[in-house]
Structure formats: C-alpha cells, structure tokens
Chains A and B, each alone.
Chain A
Amino acid sequence: MLPAIGGAGLSIDEVAARLAAALGADLRDPRVQEPDTVVATVERGRLHDVAVRLRGLDGLAYESCNFVAAVDYVNRFETVYHLYSFASNTYLELHVDVPRAQPVVATVSDVWPAADWHEREAWDMMGIRFEGHPDLRRILLKDDWVGHPLRKDYVDSVENHPHV
C-alpha cells in the first residue's frame, strides 16, 4: 500500500471512509481495490445524482471521467465509470447493474463531457441506451449497422456486409 497520497494528504482508506460518509447508502459496498482506487456499486436510478455529488465533493472532487465501459455478463449488463480526483490523486470505480431486458441508464455526459463519446461507443458496441445523451449515434461502426457486435449473443447479419 502506498502511504498518504495526493494533495489532500488522505490515505486511500480515509478516502473510502469519507466517500462512504458523504454518499451514504447511495454508494454501496465501497472497498479499496488498488493502492489508489476505491470501487463501489451504484443503483441504476441513483447514478446521475451520485455523479453530480461526486463531482462537487468538497476536497475530494472527482472532476475527471477517464472512461465509461460496458460489460456483458450474459444475464445482465454492467456499465463501469472510471473517475479521477485531482485533489486526492485517487480513482473511483463505479459499477452500475443494467438489466438485459431494459438496457437503459442515465447519461453522465452533462456531468463529465468526456463521457459523451464513451457512451456513444458503449451504445455502438453493446447497445446500452444512455437516457438524456445529446447525440447518441454510433461512433465506430457505420450508421446502418445491424446489431451490437460486442454482445455475447451477437449474430452477424448479411446486411452488414454488402460487398461479399
């Protein structure tokens, strides 16, 4: 474990404790996973509210969203938000369960503009819709692509290969 890190002079355990105190039940099961990373789970409906509060947290503001990822666990999806706090030099990893039947989650692109293209990629590859996103188009594949290729149950369509 690294000793006290960051400008705030907080150890990672102190960061985890402060996060738990500040966000209470919204931040489920916060735990230290790496010397500089706290991992926690967030309820799908609470994500946007939690994001706003994390961004404005006094002395521990998670001002940067490094990436948004999506994972297919076959029976459910999960979106992962990797946040960084300049003040404490620590990372926070948020996991959000997304049901397979209704793959919708609130956008955080209004909180962290960097999330915009990441959410578009998650939509493109995994078919997760981000509600409130200003421009949720495909970003990597062509616009008329059929399906979302990184899903485990993806079956390629002939329509996607007009030249064969």
Chain B
Amino acid sequence: MSDGFELRGLAERVQYPNLSQFERPNVVTTTVDFIFSWARSHSVFPFTYGLACCAIEMLSSGFARYDIARFGMEVFRPTPRQCDLMIVAGTVNEKMAPVLKRLYEQMSEPKWVMAMGACATSGGPFYDCYNVVNGVDKLVPVDVYVPGCPPRPEALFQGLLELQKKIQAMRIVPPVPAAATPADNATPAGEAPAAPSAAAGGAADAAKVQG
C-alpha cells in the first residue's frame, strides 16, 4: 500500500451506469418487439440434421474449442417439434427429400432453415449425380446459405450471426394500418383520452359473453 498500489474489487473498477436504480423494485421499459426478438435470436434451438461431412463441422462447432453456446444455440434437438432452426448439413438426395420436407413441416413456427455447405446450397460436387437434389431450396425456403465444402465452424457462426440479424428484424406486433394513424387516434375534443374505447370494448365483451 505504501507504494501507491491499491487492490480494488471489480465493482470499484467497473463503472456500471446507474446501478442505484436497481436497488429497489423497479421497472424497465422496452418494446415487445425488442424483447421477443432478443430472446428468439439468442436462444435458437437447432435441429440435428447432419447428412454428410458438414455434420462433422457442425459437431465441432458444438464442442469446447468453437463452442456454439456462446451464441445461445447449443441446444441441438433430435426432434423437429422442439426446434426452430434446421441446419441442413450435407447432401440431400432424392430419397431423403420427402423426409426433409416432412420434418420441416413438423417444426413449430417461427422456423428458419440454414443451408450449410455446397451440397445443401446447390448440390455442390454432386450437382450432376442422378440421385442428388440440387440444393435444399428446391424443397423448403432457406434463410441463410453458408458456402464452403465443408464450411469451417467460423463460417457456420457467421451464418448464425446473419440469421440473428434476420430474426431481430422480425416484428411480432402488427404495424398500425396506414389509415389508422394520427387522425383516427386523435382524441375528440372534450373527452378523456381512454374512456370511450375502454367503455366500448367492455360493452362489446359483455355482449359477447351474454350471446
């Protein structure tokens, strides 16, 4: 201590903004869209759909060295019911095509598809092969294409980050129709802002219950 060196805790070194406001029960305001897209894009459940050598890179992405858990996407599921991202990792052939389509249809909405590698994108080196589907986009809509043969885990992560951007751009709150903007929402003179609509809504609900 005499030489001026002082051992200090983390809380002292890092300046968190306005920590004092969380010291008692409080509220945080945000938009529904923001909180939902933030949660969705950081907790994607991929479907274990390894068909060829790309699956090895996909596995590698899951292990400690590359660690897909950094993006919150480590929960690989073997059933389509619990997944929202289908990473098609490998060659899709004609016999697998109807299976892939059915599994995609069994996934719950919202769902996304990533074509990983040259085969899933376009057929790749097997483009002219008699039994190969030339790209998984012939079967299901694809959100992100990851080039490579096979792509490295870094490339897969790049694709996942692009997918996160796409998910975050989604809106779950329907946009206000153009006709219903300011003029319609303007309060009639002399009335309290929320009263008429609340009363009307209540009456409508009551009528519905009675009916």
Contact = CB atoms under 8 A, between A and B. Distances in A.
B138 interface: yes
Contacts of A156: 130
A160 B139 CA distance: 14
Contacts of B134: 164
A141 interface: yes
Contact of A141 (B97, B131, B133, B139): B131
Nearest to A145: B94
B138 A163 contact: yes
Nearest to A164: B138
A142 B94 contact: yes
A145 B94 CA distance: 10
A160 B95 contact: no
B97 A154 contact: no
A163 B95 contact: no
Interface of B is mostly: loop
Interface in B94-123: 94-95, 97
Nearest to B92: A163
A25 B45 CA distance: 67
A163 B133 contact: yes
Contacts of B133: 161, 163
Interface in A144-164: 145, 149, 154, 156, 160-161, 163-164
Contacts of A164: 134, 138
B94 A141 contact: yes
Nearest to B130: A149
B94 A160 contact: yes
A160 B138 contact: no
A154 B133 CA distance: 18
Nearest to A149: B130
B159 to A, nearest CB: 23
B95 A154 contact: no
A156 B130 CA distance: 7
Given A163-B138, A163-B139, A154 B94 contact: no
Interface of B: 94-95, 97, 130-131, 133-134, 138-139
20 contacts: A140-B95, A141-B94, A141-B95, A141-B131, A142-B94, A142-B95, A145-B94, A149-B130, A149-B131, A154-B130, A156-B130, A160-B94, A160-B130, A160-B131, A161-B94, A161-B133, A163-B138, A163-B139, A164-B134, A164-B138
The 4 A-B pairs at the shortest CB distance, nearest first, are namely A163-B138, A149-B130, A142-B95, A156-B130
